[in-house]
Structure 1
Amino acid sequence: MSFFKEVQGLRAWKNPNVRAALMYTATYSFALGLWGTSVLSGYLKTIPPGKNTLVGIAEGLQGAVQAMAALPSGYMGDKYGRERVLRVASGVGVLTVCVFIVTLAVGASYDNVPDSGVIEYVLMCIALGMFGFFDGSSSGSLEALFHDSLHTEERPVVTTAKFIARVLFRATGPCLSAVLFVLIGDTWTRPQLRTVFYVGIGLTLIPAMLLLLLRDKHALGHESEAVPQSPEFGVPDASDLTYAAIPTAEIEAEQHALAESRDHALSDGDEPVRNIEAADADAPLLRQESAGSSTAASLRGAKFWIPRITLACDVSFGLASGMTIKFFPLFFKEETGMSPGQVNAIYVISPLAIVVCSVIATRMIKYFGRVRVPIFFSTSGVILLFAMYQMGQSKDKALWKEPMVIVPIFIVRTAFMNCCAPIRKSILIDFVDKSSRAWWNSMDSVSQFSWSGSAVLGGILCDKYGYGASFLATAIVQFIAVCVFSMLLFYRERIDGVGQVRPQTS
């Protein structure tokens, strides 16, 4: 059965929160794909004096505000309800769109004024900071309410489906952007970039309003809970069972009682008990005993370490990606000589490649598990990024200037590095208690802070040493992240067993 056939029969689609979260994901991804990739980086680079470092600072400010908003909003979502937090976030989103529109209008008035970028840059930083607050205040409660509305055993598949929706609609944004550039002029000039920016930021109003559709009352009960903390739920794993040797005297007593029972049955005319194998009285017999306290301690340890290892991995990946993700459009513009439409075409194809790899990865976890599959794909992505760095070490950087060489490597590398994000998310959610999911999802948003926050360092590296230096630094940190995630191999059997052990009901 294919992945898409498996998705069709799920109970999740009947839940209003799941449908609203998917609509939000689709519209948000579409709008952000329109203005938040090549258009944003390209427009920031046109603001005098046009330094990569200033691009990184603006992006880093967005990430810093997002992180500062995420943690308190996650706490308030767990304490006072996710629905209330999402209503506040919706209002912030609408206000943010208005500030962006004012900023772009002010920037248009300075197009023909030399060295006049200070006011526009400050306003853009304020707008990006507000967008970071919108993202940070909504992400934790949105994700928590979404996962609270899913049955535990359906979570990996539905999370992957949501991820696929996000990347597919993220691809449609650059697709429309490329069409607009073809219509209005395929150049990296301020009027053209601003026009596309206006369209994208205006469409951001839709997801901001969709947050009002999510309701606490549609969340599930114990069906969406994390893995149980005590061994009375289900049957302990074989690894959680201990074996005790029974003394020989006890064996002999049991055999004597069995013999008397058999003789009594025969004296009453009953049929003899068949297929009774006599145990060797000299050999110790092993009795299987459930080690309840050992099981509980083992599970508590797993629920303590697994979320923290997964979160540390995501933060490390975010820290690494931030040094390059905001500068890839500028790399293709300046080193490969591609137009805005061509660069946006890359960001149309890349999400499609991510979807394909994500479906493949989801199928692979049935055979190799949720730990080994991400390790394989992430390691392959790190190797490809290091190859991109090596291609730029020649004096003429000839391979960087060949789109037919560098672009396919970039697309495959992007797909490998991002396709397992929903798998890691499902691991995190499965091992945190339902009552604290908003807080943990907000903590996971810190990875978004590191994503944008490290853009400052990436901008400095690009300005001082070139784009290759940021590629190398990213590959090194991503390799460290893979090593961190590999620590979950110690808990592989428990992670892959989620969904097989269900609470017993009378």
Structure 2
Amino acid sequence: NEDFSETNENKKRKGICAWKQGGEVEEHDMSKPFVLDNTLLENCERLETGPSDNSYMSEESLSDAESGRENFIDEGGNFWNTLCLLRCCSRKRLIPICVAIADITSGFASGMSIRFFPIFFLDDMSLDPVIVQLIYMLSPLGMALLSKVSLLLSRRIGRCQATVLFKLIGAFCFLLMILSYKSHCHTALVCSLFIIRTSFMNSTQSLTKSVLMDNVPSDERGRWSALEAVNKMSWSGSAAIGGWLIGEEGIMFNFYITVAIQLMATIPLMFLFRVVP
């Protein structure tokens, strides 16, 4: 503390957070945007500056789950920093948790509707079974094409940004599909919107998986990969909920709920925009 030119009390009043990193004292004005990087999160130590009056988010220092070092945060920090105060959640833990929540939520929403699309095409739209199978043949082709596009886009704007963008486009196309059907638009338009919707919603799995694998220890990757099995298993449970909603309110209501949950599934990924390349 002798290295400071100002007293600790003045620093607390100004909202200055002091860190010791690599043997050198570094200071940051917490009224300005504060971005945590790997070095700061994994190697820094908080210099004790004593208690303050509402200067910090918490007076209790929280141990980092992996390295035992302390993460320290001012109330004026950005929202990502606030999330880092969650107990036992270091940066390397919080990133895969957010990705897992997004994937499970999105998978749950998809399971509510995916098993009922054939019924919708056959009963509500009176399509020929051959046309229905043609739709399901074109959807994987669109997914393969957009997977390449999403990979190229992620190199420019980031993996989480590209994933959220594609998910939003997919949800928007789903909503347009519902509205076009209710407006008695041409069958070809409804089917085309379904193919576009399916292609966008399912073309970013490689991006989220790469984010997940990059931020978990190598000896834990098998456990996190098991989330894919959890997603597939949750489809049965969410399909039962979807069937119940259809029985109570109709298939269109179930589709609306699916769109809403798919939009909610993008929120955890938005928290990672500034920390995941």
TM-score scaled to structure 1, two decimals?
A: 0.38
Equivalent residue number for residue 450 of structure 1: 234
Partner of 1:489, secondary structure, is coil
In the alignment, which residue of structure 1 is the partner of 2:143?
354
Secondary structure of 2:135's counterpart equals helix
Could you tell me how far apart the structure 2 residues matched to 1:488 and 1:319 are? Answer: 21
**Residue of structure 1 aligned with 2:158, choices 369, 375, 384:** 369
Identity across the alignment (%)? 29
SS at match of 1:324: helix
Residues of 2 paired with 1:453 and 1:324: CA distance? 12
User: Do structure 1's residue 413 and structure 2's residue 202 form an aligned pair?
Assistant: no
SS in 2 for 1:323: helix
Measured after TM superposition, the shift of residue 391 of structure 1 is 3.0
SS of 2:127's equivalent? coil
Higher RCO (C-alpha under 8 Å, 6+ residues apart): 1
Q: Does 1:328 align with 2:117?
A: yes
Shift of 1:449: 2.1
Aligned residues: 205
Report what 1:486 is aligned to.
270
Shift of 1:315: 0.6
Do the aligned residues in 2 keep the contact of 1:389 with 1:469 (CA within 8 Å)?
A: no
Give 2:167's aligned residue. Answer: 378
Alignment counterpart, residue 225 of structure 2, candidates 423, 426, 441:
441
Distance 1:408 1:324 in 2: 17
Aligned to 1:431: 215
- Deviations, residues 316-366 of structure 1 (Å, cap 9, x unaligned): 001100111001111110111112221111011011011111101111111
Confirm or deny that 1:294 pairs with 2:78: no
Which residue identity lines up with residue 428 of structure 1 in the other structure? L
Q: Which residue of 2 aligns with 1:404?
A: 188
Range with bigger deviation, 476-485 or 444-453? 444-453
| Contact 2:111/2:239 (8 A) holds in 1 | yes
Asked if 2 retains the 8 angstrom alpha-carbon contact of 1:361 and 1:420, the reply is yes
Give the direction of change, closer, same or farther, for the CA distance of 1:242–1:314 in structure 2 (3 Å limit).
farther
User: Partner of 1:454: helix, strand, or coil?
Assistant: helix
Indicate the structure (1 or 2) with the bigger Cα radius of gyration. Answer: 1
When residues 421 and 241 of structure 1 are mapped into structure 2, their CA distance, relative to the original with a 3 A threshold, is farther
List gaps (5 residues or longer) in structure 2: 1-20, 27-38, 46-66, 72-83
Check whether the contact 1:311–1:444 (CA below 8 A) recurs between aligned residues.
no
Correspondent of 2:128 among 339, 358, 374: 339
Q: Distance in 1 between matches of 2:274 and 2:155?
A: 18
SS at match of 1:338: coil
CA contact (8 A) 1:392 1:468 kept: no
Q: Distance in 2 between matches of 1:302 and 1:450?
A: 27
Amino acid corresponding to residue 293 of structure 1 in structure 2: N
1:460 positional shift: 1.9
Once the two structures are superposed, residues 121-152 of structure 1 have per-residue CA deviations (whole angstroms, 9 ceiling, x without a partner) of xxxxxxxxxxxxxxxxxxxxxxxxxxxxxxxx
Among 88, 94, 98, the residue aligned to 1:309:
98
Q: d(CA) in 1 for partners of 2:198 and 2:260? A: 16
User: What SS does the aligned partner of 2:162 have?
Assistant: helix
Q: Higher strand proportion, which one?
A: 2
1:445 Cα deviation from its structure 2 partner: 2.1
Gaps of 5+ in 1: 1-239, 246-289, 497-506
What's the CA shift for 1:464? 3.0
Once residues 453 and 482 of structure 1 are traced to their aligned partners in structure 2, the CA distance between those partners, rounded to angstroms, is 21
Alpha-carbon distance, 1:244 to partner: 4.7
Q: Label 1:488 to 1:242 Cα distance change in 2 as closer, same or farther (>3 A).
A: farther
Paired with 1:388 and 1:243, the residues of 2 have a C-alpha distance of 59
> For each residue in 1:231-290, what CA deviation from the matched residue of structure 2 results, as whole angstroms up to 9, or x when unmatched?
xxxxxxxxx889758xxxxxxxxxxxxxxxxxxxxxxxxxxxxxxxxxxxxxxxxxxxx7
Is the contact between residue 388 and residue 471 of structure 1 (CA under 8 Å) also seen in structure 2?
Answer: no
Give the AA of the match of 2:249.
Y
Aligned to 1:60: none
Distance (Å, rounded) in 2 between the aligned partners of 1:241 and 1:361 = 39
TM-superposed CA distance for 1:463, in Å, is 2.8
What's the C-alpha RMSD, in Å, of the aligned pairs?
A: 2.5
Change (3 A) 1:241 1:346: farther
Deviation (angstroms), 1:478 = 0.3
TM-superposed CA distance for 1:450, in Å, is 2.2
Paired letter, 1:347: Y
Equivalent position amino acid for 2:231 in 1: S
